[in-house]
Structure 1
């Protein structure tokens, strides 16, 4: 019975389903009816169009998939990093060069907004260093550093929409302070992203100046990544503190002032961190007076600019802790490096001991409280790295004075030790009554002042009737130290000075 039914359904047109008596036949007829409708509704042309649409969608899907894979590879699995982190003003693949006209424009626009700092000859240090030594005192700016020049000019150049919406920057100190102050002066909203390790004094100062302070990460690199993302999300203008062209132009105005204040200058010593200061000054000075030498000075613990300048392109150097923390920038700016190429006569690195001694010298002689980054120019002179400048007229830029009080205290002690005015000596004396008293009396008669004294009995190689005495004492200098050492060695067999 089933076979005739199938034959009838194929040969004859579909008949009224009410004549079918069994549920099985009803279901079978419905399936066949649907299949015929589906087959008949797709023509050859429809199939070609359908395939075209499928191929087009498939191609788009593959392209989108590749983009997603690349994004995940670049950003990792963290969903917070999905947006591309990019600063269009500072593209290392397409660096921009600062022009002298930019500096001239900056000089005109910021003249009423920043201090024209003095450039003064140091009588004592000129005699000691055997050169005419001048100091450009940028630490006298309102917020204590040269950063105000670039910040003021960058804010003045903002399009109207960003003057209303505001700007954002990542900084651990001076750039944040400069933007906060001049943003307040020009009624432009400022947000600064600072690492959690930033000095509390600077964080509070930025807030006092009306800035929105965000603490993010333990390094400036993390803070910068967050700031760039925040700028995109909130339509703010990100301002790079050492590589934006407007920043470089503002810093270059220092070069114009130096040439005006010391017209016959032979060389200028410039602290180098990210490279913005030296790039701006080099363009200004070499354009007006190509014969003037421009030296870049940076800390030995982070020679990023030295290495990048030698190679010719930016690299990431290893940054270690330094007294010149403001110069410890692992990767210099691409615009700064491109601008500075061929304009710098020498790049020098200095030791931590020399920086500490320079901070001490400037405090004692010039009555100037200067941070480590601002003292590197004098450090290069004291370390003997610029012997060719003896008898010349030299300007060293004291770029900033925002040094933490605890760091200042440590720098003074470190400087005193380097200068031979703070010594540590170890002497093995008799442990009988009066043995230590004899030692302290001898030191007092030699004119030294004991600051601390320690006793050590368990770890000495002599007999149990002797004691090692460790003393920290203040002296008048290295000649006095030699005198003390000679006198003690005449009395005691075991004398060690550090």
Structure 2
């Protein structure tokens, strides 16, 4: 962390530096979210940014500010993926080498993209915090310049340029909602926006499984929370940054948390209704709007902070989102082990309009003369799911919901 403080003038300077590097991402109106809160909601699509997330803004500003001697030593960073890509891209643009430490299990598309931008990827530990410690050790050992993902004035200033864009694109903005991990994005946006429009509310959102900020704000200083697994790996940071914490403490109006189920529903909504592919960490703000619609004063802007998601993970999350929305049923039905029983069950489901996505017919491990059918069904919503279950039970089937 640098001892230098970050100012509004730093954000303005960062914007000039990023003029030919970062895209001015679009602001897209969301009809479904607007209906949920009773006022306009817009999505700031940083998932469409170069390298797939907002991270390139802060990473480039930091790297571009290095001296020639520092550039010659190369840079090192740690990330679950988005900061890694931002550092790799930024390093290539200014002509310096980069090494990036990533936790084991980092999404493969993020690893591949980081490699494609020219960085050397090294795996270390199972969390971002472990990778961060390895990157710091590498910097001390080799002399490479450590590019912190959130705890540096240049990084915060770069992320703050998003706030300037939002106010230009929607001057009447009432609330801005951002994802919160280490705090660079929330701190930068809050600094930029509050400097120009103090009345705009800034709400930051963490995954409840990795929420260090509520405890830290209650204590009045950064505290470390035990690492936990969350689908929102991009904001799974165990300890707030010192500099972001100070800015968030004074400038952010509220910090909310969202569950895994709420994140998956938000991701599904972005894909189906907004036609935006967003990673779990990037939809935390949307998840909060869906979970707490009356908290947000419109017009609202939710920052979709990144879109780098493994397709395999996406398919799993979408199924979870469908289940949470009452559109996906997993159930078991014991049947007599006689010809025609399975066909009869499937015919009934077809008549009820339930789409069978997967089926397994199990004889081993059940009572003699019985079989068990395991089904995954797609339905039209909660009411339809209840109708399917009710009709099956009314017709004598013993239905076990998983």
**C-alpha displacement at 1:457, in angstroms?**
5.8
1:442 and 2:348 aligned: yes
Which residue in 2 is equivalent to 1:291?
Answer: 199
Which residue in 2 is equivalent to 1:389?
Answer: 296
Which residue in 1 is equivalent to 2:330?
Answer: 424
Alignment of structure 1 residues 302-317 onto 2, 5 Å: 302-317=210-225
- Partners of 1:230 and 1:321 in 2: how far apart? 26
| CA deviation vs aligned residue, 1:236-258 (integer Å, no higher than 9, x gap) | 21111111111001101111111
| CA deviation vs aligned residue, 1:371-409 (integer Å, no higher than 9, x gap) | 0000111111222x241337x211100000111111111
| CA deviation vs aligned residue, 1:272-325 (integer Å, no higher than 9, x gap) | 000111011111111111111110101011111221122211111122111110
Alignment of structure 1 residues 19-418 onto 2, 5 Å: 89-90=1-2, 97-383=5-291, 385-389=292-296, 392-418=298-324
8 A contact 2:41–2:302 mirrored in 1: yes
Which residue in 1 is equivalent to 2:379?
Answer: 475
What is the TM-score normalised by the length of structure 2?
Answer: 0.93
**C-alpha displacement at 1:110, in angstroms?**
1.4
Instruction: Mark the structure with the bigger radius of gyration.
Output: 1
**C-alpha displacement at 1:111, in angstroms?**
1.6
- Partners of 1:484 and 1:145 in 2: how far apart? 41
Name the CA shift for 1:170/1:441 in 2 (closer, same or farther; >3 Å): same
- Partners of 1:429 and 1:171 in 2: how far apart? 50
| CA deviation vs aligned residue, 1:256-280 (integer Å, no higher than 9, x gap) | 1111111111111110000111011
Aligned equivalent of 1:488, options 392, 396, 402: 392
SS of residue paired to 2:132: helix
- Partners of 2:175 and 2:110 in 1: how far apart? 33
Uncovered stretches (5+) of structure 2, i.e. residues with no partner: none
**C-alpha displacement at 1:197, in angstroms?**
3.1
Name the CA shift for 1:464/1:191 in 2 (closer, same or farther; >3 Å): closer
- Partners of 2:228 and 2:287 in 1: how far apart? 18
**Alignment length (residue pairs):** 402
8 A contact 1:170–1:193 mirrored in 2: yes
- Partners of 2:99 and 2:363 in 1: how far apart? 58
Mean alpha-carbon deviation: is it higher for 205-214 or for 139-148? Answer: 205-214
What is the TM-score normalised by the length of structure 1?
Answer: 0.76
- Partners of 1:206 and 1:473 in 2: how far apart? 38
SS of residue paired to 1:151: helix
**C-alpha displacement at 1:230, in angstroms?**
2.5
Name the CA shift for 1:129/1:482 in 2 (closer, same or farther; >3 Å): farther
SS of residue paired to 1:316: coil
- Partners of 1:102 and 1:162 in 2: how far apart? 21
RMSD: 2.1
**C-alpha displacement at 1:150, in angstroms?**
0.5
- Partners of 1:212 and 1:439 in 2: how far apart? 55
Q: Which has the higher contact order (CA 8 A, sep 6+)?
A: 2
- Partners of 2:227 and 2:13 in 1: how far apart? 35
Which residue in 2 is equivalent to 1:5?
Answer: none
8 A contact 1:136–1:396 mirrored in 2: yes
